[in-house]
């Protein structure tokens, strides 16, 4: 019995020893682990705990302003009153929304969105109900705040365009980044953050956007903000100065009125665009607040295309405004001289085909200056026939046609400069001589934008230098804005003699009796302009219409009426400004486009040369040395 007891005690002793040893091992492992975590890894876990306690939040920077050449704001940031609700602070969300609906518009779609966001987010996270509240709406909500538990008004920033429709096509608009815009920049993923989507806002988005700031906030275990510990506001976006003069832009837009039209005014020496107006226009603020379906349908269904910037995206047959290019091609190639005369009986025969002049009885015998003055079609049929389409095409390219001008604005169309190779490559067909004749008066395949027509005129007026237009007075260098230096433009390779002949013809168009724009001349001494009218057909004139004369633009459907065009430079004695006006389906260039250009050019010269309007005729004559160069 005693032996059994001793055996049992030894068994219990061994088991106790094993258990004690296991405890020692476990305690040693626990102590070792605690030592590892609390001593060796103390810094790491202290940092992780701090990161859980402190959240770093990005702060979107204020977007830079866009200003006109005189510092007038075109795009600014204004207070954006946003209506928020915290669901945990409301007794019943639907009851709160019902009360709100009696104060501000709140549709079923808004309610559904709010409920979805409340379910996705934590109960203490604010959910946006509406933004861009008016001051009256804010006041109504504040007065009734006791009946709206959980509802607060937050003040943020929203892009605003004070000039509304006046510069919409230039400025563009901002919008929330799309999936394709996301590039890893966390700033783009902030709720409500907007980037430039069109126009100048898009081209200069990065410097206008600025650099994000940050805020360090202390949060509890469930993410609720306890307090803000530190704040760095970041760097606001840079202001951008444009070359546009808003007052002139407004004058030009008002002068175009309800027409589907565009006008471009540029400095012929620097390339600065003073006016670029396209009508009708649209309000970019509507895109910021959100267009209704009815507003969007009205914009896209309007036959006068308010969303299109016609100054750079409208492509038109230039009509008789192209005759200066044909004249220079003929002069430079030696196929015609200044004094060579062509007789115009009212038409020209090419085989069995008859090519008509706009003047039914003809102009008689004319030289090149007289042909430009009277816009004689037969003269330029002959000039084109002798010169050939390829030489004309080469000259057109020297004057900025057939390719984008290089403007710092997206959406510019290249136009079309036809040639033998172009037609073969594009249509797979050979070129015909009759097409050369039609091209000689700016009809047929050739297309140009109003901006290209203004550039062409500027290069004629500045002595044949390859001026390039631009809209921003600042350049972006390493993310910073810097004033644009005065550019130097190279000669395009056209003789001064040929340019002088063309300028003499343009002067005769407006300033000599019998010129096609004589009625639209500028009468103020020292402010005279030299120009060229153009009327571009959009439909073929039938033989019956030619014989009977029954073809008045006003009697035709709007879409079948001719385009009215006019280009000019001023002042004649010392050119500085070039203008191009295109009125879609407006009729004759001399009757419609030229008077618009005259009024705008007078206003431009008064703005930049206030004393010019008061000059006496003898004073203006004393300044006329040097001609049109």
pLDDT for the residue 391 = 97
pLDDT: is 268 or 217 the higher one?
268
- Supply the pLDDT for residue 612: 41
Categorize the per-residue pLDDT at 573 as very low, low, confident or very high, splitting at 50, 70 and 90: very high
Print the SS3 string covering 473-520: CEEEECCEEEECCCCCCCECCCCHHHHHHHHHHHHHHHHCCCCCCHHH
Tell whether pTM > 0.75: yes
Can you name the residues that pair with 157 across neighbouring β-strands?
Answer: 79
State whether 328 and 230 are in the same domain.
no
Based on the fold, state whether residues 164 and 272 are members of the same structural domain.
Answer: no
Dihedrals phi, psi of 62, to nearest 5 degrees: -65, 135
Q: Are 168 and 102 in contact (CB under 8 A)?
A: no
In terms of domains, do 275 and 339 share one? yes
Q: Is 324 in the same domain as 184?
A: no
- Encode pLDDT of 121-137 as tens digits: 667 667 778 777 888 88
Task: Name the domain count of the chain.
Answer: 2
When mean pLDDT is compared across 119-123, 332-336, 459-463, the lowest value belongs to 119-123
Residue 293 annotated to the active site:
no
**409 contacts 200 by C-beta, under 8 angstroms:** yes
> If you average pLDDT over every residue of the chain, what do you get?
85
All residues at 6 or more sequence positions from 279 whose CB lies less than 8 Å from its CB, including other chains: 253, 256, 257, 258, 259, 260, 261, 262, 304
Closest CA to 459 of 390, 395, 399: 399
Within this chain, do residues 237 and 271 fall inside the same structural domain, yes or no? no
Q: What are the residues whose beta carbons fall under 8 Å from the beta carbon of 121, sequence distance 6 or more?
A: 127
**pLDDT above 70: residue 567:** yes
Domain that holds residue 489: 246-287+310-622
293 within a domain of the structure (yes/no): no
User: Is 1 contained in some domain?
Assistant: no
Q: Which residues, at least 6 apart from 387, have a Cβ–Cβ distance to it below 8 Å?
A: 326, 329, 330, 333, 335, 336
Rounded to an integer, what distance in angstroms lies between the CA atom of residue 309 and that of residue 261?
Answer: 10
Q: Are residues 216 and 340 in the same domain?
A: no
Q: What is the mean pLDDT of residues 493-520?
A: 96
Q: What is the CATH number of the domain that holds 572?
A: 3.40.710.10
Q: Please tell me whether residues 437 and 379 are part of one structural domain.
A: yes
**Is the pLDDT confidence value at 45 over 60?**
no
- Would you state the pLDDT for residue 256? 95
pLDDT tens per residue, range 389-432? 999 999 999 999 999 999 999 999 999 999 999 999 999 999 99
Same domain, 155 and 205: yes
> Given 185, 219, 241, which residue is the final one in a domain?
241
Q: Which helix (H) or strand (E) holds 89?
A: none
Higher pLDDT, 28 or 351: 351
Question: Worst-scoring range by mean pLDDT, 4-13, 191-200, 204-213, 503-512?
Answer: 4-13
Average pLDDT (34-45) is: 69
Out of 320, 375, 419, 590, the active site residue is 320
* CB 388, CB 396: distance < 8 Å: no
pLDDT at 570: 96
My answer on whether 282 and 428 are in the same domain is: yes
What's the N-to-C CA distance of the chain in angstroms?
136
């Amino acid at each position: 019995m005693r032996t059994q007891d001793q055996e049992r005690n030894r068994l219990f002793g061994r088991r106790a020893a094993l258990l004690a040893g296991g405890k020692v091992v476990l305690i040693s492992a626990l102590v070792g682990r605690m030592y590892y975590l609390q001593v060796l890894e103390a810094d790491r876990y202290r940092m992780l705990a701090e990161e859980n306690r402190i959240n770093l939040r990005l702060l979107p920077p204020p977007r830079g302003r866009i200003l006109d050449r005189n510092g007038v704001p075109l795009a600014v940031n204004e207070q954006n009153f946003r209506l928020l609700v915290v669901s945990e602070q409301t007794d019943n969300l639907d009851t709160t929304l019902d009360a709100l609906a009696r104060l501000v518009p709140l549709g079923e779609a808004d309610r559904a969105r709010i409920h979805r966001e409340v379910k996705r987010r934590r109960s203490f996270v604010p959910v946006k109900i509406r933004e861009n509240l008016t001051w009256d709406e804010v006041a109504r909500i504040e007065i009734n705040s006791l009946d709206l538990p959980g509802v607060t008004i937050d003040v943020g920033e929203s892009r605003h365009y004070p000039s509304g429709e006046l510069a919409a096509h230039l400025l563009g608009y901002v919008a929330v980044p799309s999936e394709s815009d996301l590039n890893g920049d966390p700033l783009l993923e902030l709720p409500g953050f907007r980037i430039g989507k069109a126009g100048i806002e898009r081209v200069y988005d990065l410097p206008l956007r600025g650099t994000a700031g940050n805020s360090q906030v202390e949060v509890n275990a469930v993410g609720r903000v306890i307090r803000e510990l530190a704040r760095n506001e970041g760097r606001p976006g840079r202001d951008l100065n444009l070359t546009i003069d808003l007052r002139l832009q407004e004058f030009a837009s008002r002068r175009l009125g309800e027409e589907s039209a565009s006008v471009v005014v540029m400095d012929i020496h620097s390339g600065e665009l003073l006016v670029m107006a396209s009508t009708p226009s649209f309000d970019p603020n509507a895109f910021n607040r959100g267009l209704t379906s009815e507003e969007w349908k009205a914009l896209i269904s309007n036959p006068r295309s308010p969303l299109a910037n016609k100054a750079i995206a409208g492509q038109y047959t230039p009509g008789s405004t192209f005759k200066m290019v044909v004249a220079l091609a003929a002069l430079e190639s030696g196929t015609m001289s200044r004094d060579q005369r062509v007789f115009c009986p009212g038409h020209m025969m090419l085989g069995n085909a008859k090519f008509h002049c706009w003047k039914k009885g003809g102009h008689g015998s004319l030289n090149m200056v007289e042909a430009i003055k009277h816009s004689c079609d037969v003269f330029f049929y002959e000039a084109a026939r002798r010169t050939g389409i390829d030489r004309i095409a080469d000259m057109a390219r020297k004057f900025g046609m057939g390719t984008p001008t290089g403007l710092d604005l997206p959406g510019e169309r290249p136009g079309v400069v036809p040639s033998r190779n172009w037609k073969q490559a594009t249509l797979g067909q050979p070129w015909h001589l009759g097409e050369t004749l039609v091209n000689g008066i700016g009809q047929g395949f050739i297309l140009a934008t109003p901006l290209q027509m203004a550039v062409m005129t500027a290069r004629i007026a500045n002595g044949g230098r390859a001026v390039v237009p631009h809209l921003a007075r600042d350049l972006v260098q390493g993310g910073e804005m810097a004033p644009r230096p005065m550019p130097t433009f190279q000669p395009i390779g056209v003789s001064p003699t040929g340019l002088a002949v063309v300028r003499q013809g343009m002067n005769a168009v407006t300033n000599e009796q019998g010129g096609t724009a004589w009625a639209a001349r500028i009468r103020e001494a020292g402010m005279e302009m030299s120009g060229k009218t153009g009327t571009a057909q959009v439909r073929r004139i039938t033989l019956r219409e030619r014989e009977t004369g029954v073809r008045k633009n006003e009697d035709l459907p709007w879409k079948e009426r001719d385009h009215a065009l006019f280009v000019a430079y001023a002042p004649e004695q010392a050119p500085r400004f070039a203008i191009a006006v295109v009125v879609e389906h407006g009729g004759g260039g001399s009757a419609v486009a030229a008077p618009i250009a005259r009024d705008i050019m007078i206003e431009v010269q008064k703005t930049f040369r206030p004393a010019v309007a008061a000059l006496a005729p003898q004073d203006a004559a004393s300044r006329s040395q040097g001609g049109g160069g």
